[in-house]
Chains A and B, each alone.
Chain A
Amino acid sequence: MYPLGPDGPEQPDREAEERKGAARRFRETDLPLDKLWTYYYGIGGEIDEVSLDAYLHEALDIPAAQVNLIATAMTEMTEEDTE
């Protein structure tokens, strides 16, 4: 089975940093927004495409769990790209 345990404490002061990081990563990867959203939805994402767009432009706060999923989606998609 997989390591089970709590997520660890949330650090709200890191949110702005994470937003900035995600926005920068999105620009660097050059992924089309609709493709990223579809992939993110496919791994369980909950926010809609417009909100995702806003988050990636540092204009919207979203739950930490969604931040993780967006990061996961970008990582998995860029890995697929370079395969």
Chain B
Amino acid sequence: MTAYGHSTSFGSGQHELPDVDMRLQELVLDSRDIAEFLTDLSVVAASRFSTPGNPVHCGVTVIRHKRPEAVASSDAEAHSLDELRNGFGDGPCLTALRSKAPLLVPDLARECRWQDYVQAAVARGVSSILAVPMDLAGEAEAVLNLYSGRVNGFSAHDLATAEAFTGHAAGSLKLVLRITQLSEARNDLALALTSRTIIDMAVGAIMAQNRCTRDTAFGILTKASSTRNVKLREVAAAVIASISGEKEIDTYFDE
């Protein structure tokens, strides 16, 4: 996908966004992870708000567990602007996030807030910024950042379109987050099953060798793990290998 491939929708400012839902659905199905989805989303957003004389760069930041979890952008320009913002720790993006309302900075040269950030952004040729937070119903927080090289690069129309767009996008993002969460949980469980088999086997072996209870065997294993600063799973694998020479222990389960 190219950054400005959707030339027919340039600057149309339509609030209905009839094709957006379909487009977003495709993005959800096609992307392999959050980062890829966000990148595609930024590209779609950038192309929607760009006009021939006023190219718009777009970045999306997702914050989960109080850390910026995924940052994606339509192009290298937006990427460096997002990095810049994270470097300074504050900016329109985070302010929009806190106030849960869109924030328009029509002219950076006249902006007195976020001085360090604004200076650096101006130096990179940014003149106006539109930051729109997405409502993700508590699952995470996200903001769509649009950067323009022009003063007043975003009209009232653009603002309304951006709000409608992020409204649609938030639904898709929630879906992507949930899918990611589920597949992460599935991978974690698969790992847990394998590791538990190895540890149970080692515990059984120690019980037989020492004629001790399960709790005592576990205690021996955890003590060995913490004094050697080696993971419990690895200590258990070493115990099994020392007895039977087996290196690969698999757990079989239906998926």
Find chain B residues with CB under 8 A from A68 CB.
Answer: 218-219, 222
Find out whether the CB atom of B195 lies under 8 angstroms from the CB atom of A72: no
Q: Given that A30-B66, A44-B196 are contacting pairs, would A2 and B188 also be in contact in the complex, using a CB cutoff of 8 Å?
A: no
Find out whether the CB atom of B192 lies under 8 angstroms from the CB atom of A41: yes
Is A23's CB within 8 Å of the partner chain B?
no
Q: Mark B191-218, 1 if CB is under 8 A from A, else 0.
A: 1111110011001001001100001101
Find chain A residues with CB under 8 A from B188 CB.
Answer: 35, 38-39, 42
Is B239's CB within 8 Å of the partner chain A?
yes
Find chain B residues with CB under 8 A from A32 CB.
Answer: 65
Give the number of residue pairs across the A-B interface with Cβ within 8 Å. 69
Question: How many residues of chain B are within 8 Å of chain A by beta carbon?
Answer: 35
Find chain A residues with CB under 8 A from B124 CB.
Answer: none
Is A3's CB within 8 Å of the partner chain B?
yes
Which residues of B (221-243) have their CB < 8 Å from a CB of A? 221-227, 231-233, 235, 239, 242
Find chain B residues with CB under 8 A from A44 CB.
Answer: 196, 199-200, 203, 218, 232
Which B residue's beta carbon lies closest to that of A30?
B65
**A residues with CB within 8 A of B:** 1-7, 30, 32, 34-35, 38-39, 41-44, 63, 65, 68-69, 72, 75-76
14 sampled A-B residue pairs with Cβ under 8 A:
A3-B220, A3-B227, A7-B216, A30-B65, A38-B185, A42-B192, A42-B193, A43-B196, A44-B199, A44-B203, A44-B232, A68-B222, A72-B225, A76-B232
